[in-house]
Amino acid sequence: MTGRRRETEAPAGGPAPALPPVLPGVVVRAGTVATASLADVDALVLPVAPGADGDEGVQPRHGTVEAAVRYGVDLADLADRHDADGSAGSVHTIHLPRPLGGARELPWSGLPARVLLVGVGAGTPADLRKAGAAVARATRGLGGVVTTAAADTDDDGTGAFVEGYLLGAYRHPTGAAKPGPGPAATLTLLGDHGAIEPAQHVARATWLARALTVTPASTKTPAWLADQAVAAVEAAGRPDQLTVTVLGPDEIAARGFGGLAAVGAGSVHGPRFVTVRYVPAAARGRHVVVVGKGITFDSGGLAIKPRESMVGMKTDMAGSAVALATVLGAASLGVPHRVTALLPLAENAFGGASYRPGDVLRVYGGTTVEIANTDAEGRLVLADALAHADADLDPDVLVDVATLTGAATLGLGKQHGALYSADEALAAGLVRAGAASGDALWRMPLVPEYRAALDSAVADVRHVADPGVGGGSITAALFLQRFAGRRRWAHLDIAGPARSASASHEVPEGATGFGVRVLLRWLRDL
């Protein structure tokens, strides 16, 4: 750990995320609903699926028939009464009555009086992920929950259900107690299951990215975020595999990171450049460098944003949170590839030292860049990091992830990240990983004819095309491509899915952690 500098100011307000995050308990227990002890269990969760063609009602899945026999209750009839359809992520809670005054014993005496019927759809990993998230939301505040929902699936299905449960159980950290249900219940998977640890590692990494991204900018200065990276590396307890380096403002300027230095110059909170390296004990794979945009708050600089556009800008460092979570997740999963995360961190404020439209900056490696819009700061800090990776780190694969352009959101909405790459195999692998992980990516074109829109009369390149050109997400990707050199490179523009206006299945309202799951899945498949 070198080059660490601490600022004299102490950012106040807002919670500091727990590092590492503490997830709800998930355990596996052998047995069946017919024989398992269900004492001290608050809820029994049973899977149902849509009826086959021509069949009325739902189809019971693993353990549901045995539970009906043990309870002495027609669960299929109760499912019909609750209009259960078995669709993925649907959940219906049945509260069985208790005897009045204990005068008589009912068939379900001694068993959980709360039974949940959760829809598992077609039983695909995507459906089971939704089912797990639904269970987490429906059982929040309970103690122990037992389920057979993933008992008749393969390892991918079990992992998806557990991942969905843990991601659905996440709640954004808050500085004050809020009314409502308590923490998520401890989940017991009843039956034969494969290893659940990979799903727990992926969920923990995603929790970390969400918690960092949602932290208020009044707390989350570049120095604070750099300290969180250091703390996370230290908490991982792998000093032989994980190391971290933090550069302060003077070192950033001295080493020629001209884009990062310029973007951070207008703020009282100086920039930082964080490098986190994971080197597995028996490294036998490739070297992957992940660069994450780390703008801790984006006012737009001198090209100040309208108030409405500024409200969510504490999340403009989502890419750096994803990069940090990815390298830590890779270490906990034990992937055989070396992974390096680069976090260029700055606050894009405005003041007497702010960079200006018309300025010419010299970024890492000597390329000069004409500034057209100070609200397009993300590509400048990424240019520094990408050029550094290309020149100094010799990566086999270089990936950057950023909440970069509103144009990507206009084109793809909030459900897909925009993927750019000239490498067919790399792009295909990332798309497959996105489909398998739940972080969906859509490949976009790197239109060569658009490169001319970045020509400059006073510098090597202009960093923003004229508004009339269109294709803002494409021209941004073309700008970044030149700094990746000849490396295998991919750019993920996550401006849309990094934030969610409402909760849905395993995705919470607010910061989503989008990008962690796809990158960890891709690294495991690489």
Active site annotation includes 379: yes
- Both tokens assigned to 507: 């995705």
Select which of 4, 137, 286, 305 is catalytic: 305
Q: How far apart are CA 296 and CA 126, in angstroms?
A: 33
- How far is Cα 319 from Cα 340, in angstroms, rounded to an integer? 14
Active site residue 140: no
SS3 189: strand
Copy the structure tokens of residue 180. 């409502």
d(CA 330, CA 1): 20
Q: Are 28 and 51 in contact (CB under 8 A)?
A: no
Query: Which residues are 80's β-sheet partners?
Result: none
CA 486/CA 262 separation, integer angstroms: 26
Helices 125-138 & 155-169 angle (0-180, nearest 10):
30
Helices and strands: H and E segment counts in the chain: 15, 21
C-alpha–C-alpha distance, residues 27 and 200, integer Å: 11
* DSSP letter assigned to residue 274: E
* 3-class SS string, 315-337: HCCHHHHHHHHHHHHHHHHCCCC
Please tell me the distance from the alpha carbon of residue 289 to that of residue 233, in angstroms, as a whole number: 17
Give SS3 for 147.
Answer: strand
| Token pair 């990008």: residue | 515
Q: Which of 129, 204, 379, 462 is catalytic?
A: 379
| Residue 455: its H or E element | none
- Collapsed DSSP state (helix, strand, coil) of residue 8: coil
200 CB-near residues (< 8 Å, 6+ apart): 23, 26, 162, 166
Q: What are the catalytic residues?
A: 305, 379
